[in-house]
């Protein structure tokens, strides 16, 4: 069996999170051949892998969303069917994806020629007059070109053949998976770690590079792509129940949905190296993350600074790479200096098992998450967690249908006072801190072992291999079959 894993903005270029999950999944099935189709921003990322690829990965294909059209730059007009398909895409009216797939897979199509040609111009004009005639048309036209350039690059991608396409999100990955299913008649599996559409909405609302009503156009574009993926997928998995509900609200048929929780190697976090001499008298707070805006490291640093004024023994360890967004990382370094914090350490990329045993608690102040592996790893090491109320953090810390008790403290995002108070509370209540760590350990041991995740996907892959599809018998029945 050959499975094409389609990922966007992560594996094998970025460590942690979804990348770790993909790497673990591939290693779990050495008997299966995997092909990686990875979507990145531009050619500057080409081949810059931070993972050593497992032996069962036979090929890696890269799609660059910000690229150059290397074909001939002629401006051949569309026929009526092709133009109506383009128009349906822009106007979001019963989109004719099949015609669009066939059109862009024609090697003679010029993306630049299309975007600068009459067909695209006329379709944009109609969309503009219907909804956005109050803005300057030339600005609107260039904005539409910027929106559709990456989608058109995705539609023109020559796809490798496989027995199953497994997309790790909707979006551009979902478009590629849907197109592969159309072209080759093979099944499509989507496994969302976060809800792609909601994450893009959150990013766009905060974004400074796109203004005003243009945010709505971008958001609607991501909704179109996700809707396509949900419609064409044979099975759509999520990490927790609330995410499954969101998928249904966004248009995924309920009978296609299935919850498959994350899993980690719990046993690998036993008998960790403990505290060292320099930890004497310290209360160590660990943050295992990439230093990036979505992790909101600045809020973490500020909240830690306020907590340290009340508890001088506190020390913050920020453990993870910072090279992904060097500008943001420098702002974090500057903030530490400006606040005159001597007990904040940026370790860079490390083996978390070398440090986690020294921590008294861990912290995650993200503004968006799915089901964070760092929380599961902290629980496996019997360490309590302070986390913002995003993704499945609340469910992991307080449980979903179990009576193990809280594994830490939940706060609101960007709430300095709550986060600071939580750090101080755990610092001052050692016995409760230890009990929370034990509660977390029981929870991760019961529901989030790597063996359970492997068995879930083994059965899913076997069903696709045997039947060429996955039976849509309703979520409850499917979940019962997989357990």
More confident call, 135 vs 180: 180
Whether the predicted pLDDT of 478 surpasses 60 = no
Quick one: tokens of 341? 């914090």
Q: Which residues have a Cβ under 8 Å from the Cβ of 110 and sit 6 or more positions away?
A: 69, 71, 72, 73, 74, 75, 76
Is pLDDT at 477 greater than 50 in this prediction?
A: no
| Continuous H helices in 64-164 | 80-91, 97-105, 111-115, 118-131, 137-156
Mean pLDDT, residues 161-184: 96
Give the Cα-Cα-Cα angle 366, 325, 219 (nearest 5 degrees): 60
Give dist(CA 281, CA 92) in Å, integer: 62
DSSP 63: E
Please list the residue range(s) of the chain that carry CATH number 3.40.50.2000.
2-67+157-259, 266-447
Residue carrying structure tokens 């008649």: 185
**Residue 124: what pLDDT?**
96
Report the pLDDT value the prediction gives residue 73, as an integer from 0 to 100: 57
State pLDDT tens for residues 425-447.
999 999 999 999 999 999 999 99
Tens digit of each residue's pLDDT (9 = 90 or more) over 175-229: 999 999 999 999 999 999 888 888 888 777 777 777 777 888 899 999 999 999 9
pLDDT digits (tens, 9 = 90+) for 289-312: 999 998 999 999 999 999 999 999
What mean pLDDT value characterizes the chain? 91
**Residue 82 reports pLDDT greater than 50:** yes
Report pTM: 0.88
Supply the CATH classification number for the domain 266-447.
3.40.50.2000
Per-residue DSSP letters for 207-271? -SSS-TTHHHHHHHHHHHHHHHHHHH-SEEEESSHHHHHHHHHTT--GGGEEE----B-GGGGSS
Q: Is 390 left (phi over 0), alpha (psi -120 to 50) or beta?
A: beta
Q: Give the pLDDT of residue 483.
A: 47
Does pLDDT of 72 surpass 70? no
pLDDT number for residue 480: 41
Q: Where are the alpha helices (DSSP H) in 285-406?
A: 297-310, 326-338, 373-380, 393-398
Q: Which of 100, 125, 114, 116 is nearest to 225 (CA)?
A: 100
Q: What CATH code is assigned to 2-67+157-259? A: 3.40.50.2000
Report which of residues 475 and 291 the model is more confident about: 291
Q: Tell me how far apart the alpha carbons of residues 124 and 135 are, in angstroms, rounded to a whole number.
A: 13
Residue 408: how many other CB atoms lie within 10 Å: 27
Adjacent-strand bridge partners of 408: 385
Q: Which long-range contacts (CB under 8 A, 24 or more apart) does 331-336 make?
A: 331/298, 332/291, 332/297, 332/298, 332/301, 335/298, 335/301, 335/302, 336/301
Which residues are 318's β-sheet partners? 287, 346
The per-residue pLDDT for 109 is 87
> Which segment, 30-39, 61-70, 216-225, is predicted with the most confidence on average?
30-39
Separation of alpha carbons 296 and 313, rounded Å:
23
Q: DSSP class of residue 76?
A: P
- In three-state secondary structure terms, 202 is helix
Q: Kindly report, residue by residue over 453-466, the tens digit of the pLDDT.
A: 999 999 999 999 88
Percent of the chain with pLDDT strictly greater than 70: 95
- Count the alpha carbons within 13 Å of 256 in the hemisphere toward its beta carbon: 20
pLDDT tens digit sequence for 337-374: 999 998 999 999 899 999 999 999 999 999 988 899 99
Answer whether 305's CB lies under 8 Å from 381's CB.
no
């Amino acid at each position: 069996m050959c499975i094409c894993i389609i990922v966007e903005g992560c594996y094998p270029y970025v460590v942690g999170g979804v990348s770790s999950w993909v790497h673990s999944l591939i290693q779990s099935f050495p008997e299966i051949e995997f092909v990686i189709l990875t979507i990145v921003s531009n050619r500057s990322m080409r081949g810059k892998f931070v993972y050593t690829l497992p032996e069962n990965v036979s090929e890696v294909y890269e799609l660059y969303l910000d690229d150059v059209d290397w074909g001939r730059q002629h401006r051949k007009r569309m026929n009526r069917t092709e133009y109506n398909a383009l128009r349906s895409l822009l106007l979001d009216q019963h989109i004719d994806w099949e015609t669009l797939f066939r059109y862009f897979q024609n090697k003679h199509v010029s993306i630049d020629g299309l975007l600068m040609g009459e067909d695209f111009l006329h379709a944009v004009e109609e969309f503009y007059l219907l909804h956005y005639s109050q803005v300057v048309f030339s600005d609107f036209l260039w904005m539409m070109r910027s929106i559709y350039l990456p989608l058109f690059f995705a539609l023109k991608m020559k796809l490798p053949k496989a027995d199953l396409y497994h997309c790790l999100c909707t979006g551009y990955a979902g478009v590629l998976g849907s197109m592969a299913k159309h072209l080759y008649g093979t099944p499509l599996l989507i496994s969302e770690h976060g809800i792609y559409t909601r994450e893009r909405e959150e990013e766009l609302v905060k974004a400074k590079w796109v203004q005003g009503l243009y945010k709505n156009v971008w958001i609607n574009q991501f909704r179109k792509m996700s809707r396509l993926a949900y419609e064409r997928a044979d099975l759509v998995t999520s990490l927790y129940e609330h995410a499954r509900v969101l998928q249904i609200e966004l248009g995924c048929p309920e009978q296609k949905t299935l919850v498959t929780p994350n899993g980690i190697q719990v046993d690998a976090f036993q008998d960790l190296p403990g505290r060292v001499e320099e930890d004497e008298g310290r209360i160590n707070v660990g943050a295992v993350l990439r230093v990036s805006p979505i992790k909101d490291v600045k809020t973490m640093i500020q909240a830690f600074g306020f907590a340290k004024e009340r508890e001088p023994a506190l020390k913050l360890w920020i453990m993870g790479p910072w090279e992904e967004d060097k500008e943001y990382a420098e702002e974090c370094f500057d903030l530490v200096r400006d606040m005159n914090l001597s007990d904040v350490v940026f370790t860079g990329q490390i083996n978390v098992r070398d440090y986690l045993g020294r921590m008294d608690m861990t912290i995650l102040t993200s503004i968006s998450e799915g089901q964070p592996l760092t929380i599961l790893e902290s629980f496996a090491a019997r360490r309590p967690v302070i986390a913002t109320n995003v993704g499945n953090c609340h469910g992991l810390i307080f449980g979903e249908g179990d009576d193990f008790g809280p594994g830490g403290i939940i706060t609101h995002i960007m709430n300095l006072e709550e986060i600071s108070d939580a750090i101080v509370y755990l610092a001052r209540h050692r016995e409760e801190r230890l009990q929370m760590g034990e509660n977390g350990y029981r929870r991760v041991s019961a529901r989030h072992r790597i063996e359970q995740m492997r068995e879930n996907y083994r059965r899913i892959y076997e069903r696709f291999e045997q039947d060429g599809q996955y039976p849509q018998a309703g979520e409850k029945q499917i979940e019962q079959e997989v357990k």
